[in-house]
């Protein structure tokens, strides 16, 4: 009997996990613009300690044991024929890619700054970009970080920890950053930033054009629409949250007014029960929280249920964001709960238990030892 074919469009954090869950049950094809997982997580660690970040968040597909049964295709997505159930793309050599499907999972995520972009890239190009941003910040004596989200706060903590002699200033709109987290979370992180000597500047909203996306570290003065004196530093890191869904390849009928993929509570596209979406690209709730709350497991289960006639389960979004904010530090890993309370794993447990057993074996079902990249 011919196995059902599932095409996964996008092999980022959620796409890889979805492929791992589906591979034992279907013929799975994953389409990615990258030659491996290039995570959008932990911007601060990526900028301050790129070697540490690459170890955990830049992983070639052939190192994932459970992706051995998944055929990965490196291509830029260009379209989908919903009637013919075929995904279209363009390979590195310019050749057209056409992958038929019985079910399609859209996991293409969002673009955000220079660290989350959908363009085709080789391992060498990924590495060059990773270390270029690090070197640009390493040579700066002063750094301004603009933004009030997790990426901005994580960057402030990690840059100040790695380079304690730098002048680092965090500017954000409103009275506090991390509005999507419990207030206790910011209270705890603000104390750490104060200990690190990071300057905090509330109620500062930067003047930016509609076209500006923050895709470069700049050095020009930052002007404020809230009336304050322009701020100047050797390097300006823009983490202003201007996310753009990677959906230009999809027909408008699948999208909401902001370009995200419309989904039912079961993560299906309305009117197209064979099309699913999960992760930052899916318009599940205002926080698009299926990216961080095991949406991969739910969408994999619902695809299996679709083919066997079983009831589908709904996605339940949490009210607040939670998780690690600043990544692994010298004193371990701190994880915040939706209540704002935190649990710290000491560094020895992170290195011996959390990463090798819980993440690499429990979450990813086995990752082979590192191989040279490039």
3-class SS of residue 289: helix
Using the predicted structure, report yes or no on whether residue 356 has a pLDDT greater than 80: yes
Q: Are 233 and 169 in contact (CB under 8 A)?
A: yes
What is the arithmetic mean of pLDDT over 142-159? 96
Q: What is the mean pLDDT of residues 307-330?
A: 91
Report pLDDT for 157: 98
134-240+337-346 maps to which CATH number? 3.50.50.60
Mean pLDDT of the chain: 93
**Averaged pLDDT, 52-74:** 96
Mean pLDDT computed over 334-362: 93
* pLDDT at residue 265 greater than cutoff 50: yes
pLDDT value of residue 286: 85
Determine whether domain 5-121+244-321+351-359 maps to CATH 3.50.50.60: yes
CA R_g for the chain: 21
Q: What is the pLDDT of residues 218-257, one digit of tens each?
A: 999 999 999 999 999 999 999 998 889 999 999 999 999 9
Q: φ, ψ for residue 59 (rounded to 5)? A: -130, 115
d(C-alpha 52, C-alpha 50), whole Å: 5
pLDDT of residue 374: 43
Which two tokens mark 59? 């992983």
Q: Quote the CA–CA distance of 156 and 145 in Å, as a whole number.
A: 7
Crossing angle of helices 13-22/295-308, nearest 10°? 40
CB atoms under 10 Å from CB of 368, counted, come to 12
What b-and-e string marks burial along 308-318, b requiring 16 or more CB atoms within 10 Å of the CB?
Answer: eeeebeebeee
DSSP string, 32-76: ESSSEEE----HHHHHH-HHHHHHHHEEEGGGBGGGTTEEEEEEE
Q: Residues 157, 188: contact at Cβ < 8 Å?
A: no
CA distance 149 to 92: 34
Dig out the tokens for 97 from the structure: 């890619």
Q: What is the pLDDT of residue 112?
A: 87
Report whether pLDDT(211) > 80: no
In this prediction, residue 373 has a pLDDT band, given cuts at 50, 70 and 90, of very low
Tokens of 181: 């987290």
Whole-number pLDDT of residue 209: 83
Average pLDDT over residues 79-107: 97
Give me 36's structure tokens: 């491996």
CA atoms within 13 A on the CB side of 215: 10
Place of tokens 């597909």: 61
Distance (Å, rounded) from C-alpha 5 to C-alpha 255? 24
Fill in the DSSP letter of residue 290. Answer: G
The answer to whether 183 and 166 are in contact (CB under 8 A) is no
Q: Where in the chain is the domain with CATH 3.50.50.60?
A: 5-121+244-321+351-359, 134-240+337-346
Q: Where are the beta strands (DSSP E) in 51-180?
A: 58-60, 70-81, 86-91, 96-100, 103-106, 110-111, 142-146, 167-171
pLDDT for the residue 106: 98
pLDDT at residue number 371: 54
């Amino acid at each position: 009997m011919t196995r059902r074919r599932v095409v996964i469009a996008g092999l980022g954090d959620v796409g890889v996990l979805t492929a791992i869950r589906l591979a034992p049950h279907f013929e799975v094809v994953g389409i990615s613009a990258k030659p491996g997982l290039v995570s959008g997580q932990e911007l601060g660690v990526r900028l301050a300690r790129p070697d540490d970040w690459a170890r955990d968040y830049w992983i070639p597909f052939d190192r994932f044991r459970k992706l051995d049964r998944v055929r990965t295709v490196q291509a830029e997505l260009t379209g989908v024929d919903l009637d013919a159930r075929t995904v279209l793309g363009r390979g590195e050599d310019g050749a057209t890619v056409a992958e038929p499907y019985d079910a399609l999972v859209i996991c293409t995520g969002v673009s955000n700054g220079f660290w989350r972009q959908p363009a085709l890239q080789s391992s060498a190009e990924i590495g060059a970009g990773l270390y270029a941003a690090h070197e640009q910040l390493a040579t700066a004596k002063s750094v301004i970080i603009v933004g009030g989200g997790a990426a901005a706060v994580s960057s402030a903590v990690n840059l100040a920890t790695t380079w304690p002699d730098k002048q680092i200033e965090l500017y954000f709109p409103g009275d506090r950053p991390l509005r999507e987290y419990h207030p206790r979370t910011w209270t705890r992180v603000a104390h750490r930033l104060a200990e690190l000597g990071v300057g905090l500047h509330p109620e500062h909203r930067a003047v930016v054009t509609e076209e500006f996306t923050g895709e470069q570290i700049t050095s020009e003065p930052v002007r404020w629409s809230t009336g304050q004196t322009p701020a100047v530093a050797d390097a300006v890191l823009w983490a202003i949250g201007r996310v753009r869904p990677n959906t230009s390849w999809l027909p408008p009928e699948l999208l909401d007014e902001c370009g995200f993929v419309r989904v039912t509570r079961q993560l299906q596209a309305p009117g197209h029960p064979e099309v699913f979406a999960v992760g930052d690209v899916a318009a599940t709730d205002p926080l698009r929280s299926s990216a961080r709350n095991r949406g991969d497991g739910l969408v994999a289960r619902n695809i299996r249920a679709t083919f066997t006639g079983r009831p589908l389960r709904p996605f339940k979004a949490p009210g607040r964001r939670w998780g690690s904010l600043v990544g692994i530090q010298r004193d371990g890993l701190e994880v915040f709960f939706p209540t704002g309370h935190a649990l710290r794993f000491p560094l020895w447990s992170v290195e011996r238990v959390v990463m090798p057993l819980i993440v690499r074996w429990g979450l990813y079902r086995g990752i082979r030892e590192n191989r040279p990249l490039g």
